[in-house]
Chain A
């Protein structure tokens, strides 16, 4: 099994009474709550944490895209991945991803991902989410009724931009370009592996399976609740007669490791409560624009992950006991975490396990503890899972000897302070 270190980059300093005083953590979250000086510290702290994880042997490090959101400070994950490309050596850079319907023209994504692939020597995983309704419809004004159609067109354009060696013309409904010819081109040919984060829509299962992409369910509600969605995906894989290879699926799981189960609660409870009770305080108005989900999915009774689930749960304040019992967070001693994580991976049949070891208001020293305990005491024990399967969805970097080594110091003689 591959294990990846995922970061959401939350703002850690929302006030205690945030959920009572303000309508939403997303879309119309008040700007005065953001302190740019703290932002400076946070970005550097979080990049350190991702780099640290890469140095400890996680297979990949993951960043994602959110807008106008106090629990996700990455409107552009590509900027973060770009910084990470220079300061990591072997870990895959998993960008999950760019909401491709939002870019005008979408070749911008083909270009930036090609830059990242060149910069990192072929370590990029290209994620193409539709994006949440909050990000796409509310923050970026995308028309719900045409979002998925626009997404499909953007996808087709990007793939052509990567794979067609010639200058070509693209006459789409949403994008028209006379001369498509992106420079640079990706190191990985024909293109970087494509992973699709989804929230349980039927059409996405079908399409991802047809295209042979990786399906990722980035849930905040753990492996127990994730089963319904992942089962739906695997049924579709079976229906299409494709191999049930666990590496074609990814899952996001919160993990909290400590010396003992009791110590885990002492260490992590307040930070988990910060995440679930403050960071997920999404105004119901913004949960789901009409048309964001297809009628087929609406009629099938499935709910987007931040739609109904959140509302049902936000009716009361959640406590550590809820998170652990319901599997939102896999927590406890290394022994216990190992066992729970392996069971979860088996139940979900997932080969790309993304763990969230920084969540909510966790400060850097605690993230370091969690990350190091996980890397030392858990990671080696779960890696062997799925060894019978080949991961055909993994990065293909240049051989180590052909990869550039960024210089960490300025060459002698160059004044550090400019002229």
Chain B
């Protein structure tokens, strides 16, 4: 993918955006761990113009000090879309990015053509608490986020091959989680339930059946609150369907976004 940096609000933010492909615009919003580049983005780019930005405070994007809460972040994405020249786009949000995508669609329905929520946070059930993943080291987290922690698909999540690179990756992770705490600490419920009824975009809810971070019961929570939405649960799949069941994920998303 091609990377570029955009200046937002006269330099208040610097947005690092990966872009690829041609076709209708698709905005991919990443989760709390930052943007995991992978073949799924290239596959989506065969059909769409994919924009995969890093949120402020994640990766190489700057300006998180100007973002206080999830609504600020959603409004920032309106500015980013303006800067990209996008009046509207399909929006695909994963995990925390799903919460953000839902907020974006609720705040300004006409800018979101179709919405895909993948293993999204943003709602809360006392009987199925979202995992306190902030407290778990990467190796422990694997058991909760992958159906098969030995899956060969893990190799698609790139890990640097030098010590320096791996240390830098750990710093990046701390940086990403630090910013994510603004939207998710101590509980990832920031009032989406009061706004979610405003979503008008056709919506697909995709969930890995074995997700131990945010249980698949939340798929139904989202479905019941978004008119006309539908759920697709992927078997043998954890929190990262775009990696663990990449082809099924890409095919579902592409079919939904490209369909009538």
Do A289 and B175 touch (CB < 8 A)?
A: no
Question: Which DSSP category, helix, strand, loop or mixed, fits chain B's interface?
Answer: helix
B256 within 8 A of A: no
Can you list, as one digit per residue, whether each of A137-165 has a CB less than 8 Å from chain B (1) or not (0)? 11001011110000000000000000000
A173 within 8 A of B: yes
A138 to B132, CA, bound (A): 11
Q: Which A residues touch B174, using CB under 8 A?
A: 290-291, 295, 298
> Which listed residue (B68, B132, B171, B181) contacts A298, Cβ 8 A?
B171
A346 within 8 A of B: no
Do B171 and A295 touch (CB < 8 A)?
A: yes
A144 to B181, CA, bound (A): 6
B134 within 8 A of A: yes
Do A285 and B186 touch (CB < 8 A)?
A: no
B136 within 8 A of A: yes
Do A141 and B185 touch (CB < 8 A)?
A: yes
Do B136 and A291 touch (CB < 8 A)?
A: no
Can you list, as one digit per residue, whether each of B62-83 has a CB less than 8 Å from chain A (1) or not (0)? 0010001000000000000000
A15 to B177, CA, bound (A): 36
B178 within 8 A of A: yes
Do A295 and B178 touch (CB < 8 A)?
A: yes
Minimum CB distance partner of B64 in chain A: A145
Can you list, as one digit per residue, whether each of A216-233 has a CB less than 8 Å from chain B (1) or not (0)? 000000000000000000
A6 to B181, CA, bound (A): 34
Minimum CB distance partner of A139 in chain B: B186
Can you list, as one digit per residue, whether each of B181-192 has a CB less than 8 Å from chain A (1) or not (0)? 110011100000
Q: Which B residues touch A146, using CB under 8 A?
A: 68, 181-182
> Which listed residue (A285, A286, A289, A299) contacts B181, Cβ 8 A?
A289
Do B135 and A144 touch (CB < 8 A)?
A: no
Residue of B135, B174, B180 with highest tally of chain A CB at under 10 A = B135
A295-B171, A295-B175 as given contacts; A289 in contact with B135, CB under 8 Å: yes
B47 to A: closest C-beta gap in Å: 36
Q: Which A residues touch B134, using CB under 8 A?
A: 289-290
Do A173 and B185 touch (CB < 8 A)?
A: no
Q: Which A residues touch B186, using CB under 8 A?
A: 137-138, 141, 143
B179 within 8 A of A: yes
Q: Which A residues touch B182, using CB under 8 A?
A: 143, 145-146
A416 to B: closest C-beta gap in Å: 47
B260 to A: closest C-beta gap in Å: 43
Give the number of A-B contacts (CB < 8 Å): 52
A299 to B186, CA, bound (A): 25
Can you list, as one digit per residue, whether each of B120-145 has a CB less than 8 Å from chain A (1) or not (0)? 00000000000010111100000000
> Which listed residue (B64, B68, B178, B187) contacts A290, Cβ 8 A?
B178
Can you list, as one digit per residue, whether each of B144-188 has a CB less than 8 Å from chain A (1) or not (0)? 000000000000000000000000000101110111111001110
Do A290 and B177 touch (CB < 8 A)?
A: yes
A202 to B: closest C-beta gap in Å: 16
A137-B185, A285-B136 as given contacts; A291 in contact with B178, CB under 8 Å: yes
A284 to B139, CA, bound (A): 14
Minimum CB distance partner of B173 in chain A: A290
Q: For chain A residues 254-297, which have a beta carbon within 8 Å of chain B?
A: 284-286, 289-291, 295
A144 to B175, CA, bound (A): 11
Can you list, as one digit per residue, whether each of A279-323 has a CB less than 8 Å from chain B (1) or not (0)? 000001110011100010011000000000000000000000000
A146 to B68, CA, bound (A): 9
A141 to B175, CA, bound (A): 19
Do A143 and B181 touch (CB < 8 A)?
A: yes
A399 to B: closest C-beta gap in Å: 49
Q: Which A residues touch B178, using CB under 8 A?
A: 144-145, 290-291, 295
Do B171 and A290 touch (CB < 8 A)?
A: no
A341 to B185, CA, bound (A): 43
Do A145 and B135 touch (CB < 8 A)?
A: no
Q: Which B residues touch A298, using CB under 8 A?
A: 171, 174
Q: Which A residues touch B64, using CB under 8 A?
A: 145
Q: List 5 A-B contacts (CB under 8 A).
A: A143-B182, A144-B185, A145-B179, A290-B173, A295-B178
Those 6 A-B pairs whose CB atoms lie nearest each other, nearest first: A291-B178, A290-B177, A285-B135, A141-B186, A145-B181, A144-B181
Known: A141-B187, A285-B136, A291-B179. 14 other contacts (CB 8 A): A141-B186, A143-B182, A144-B178, A144-B181, A146-B181, A286-B135, A289-B134, A289-B135, A289-B181, A290-B177, A290-B178, A291-B177, A295-B175, A298-B174
Report which A residues bind B (CB closer than 8 A). 137-138, 141, 143-146, 173, 284-286, 289-291, 295, 298-299
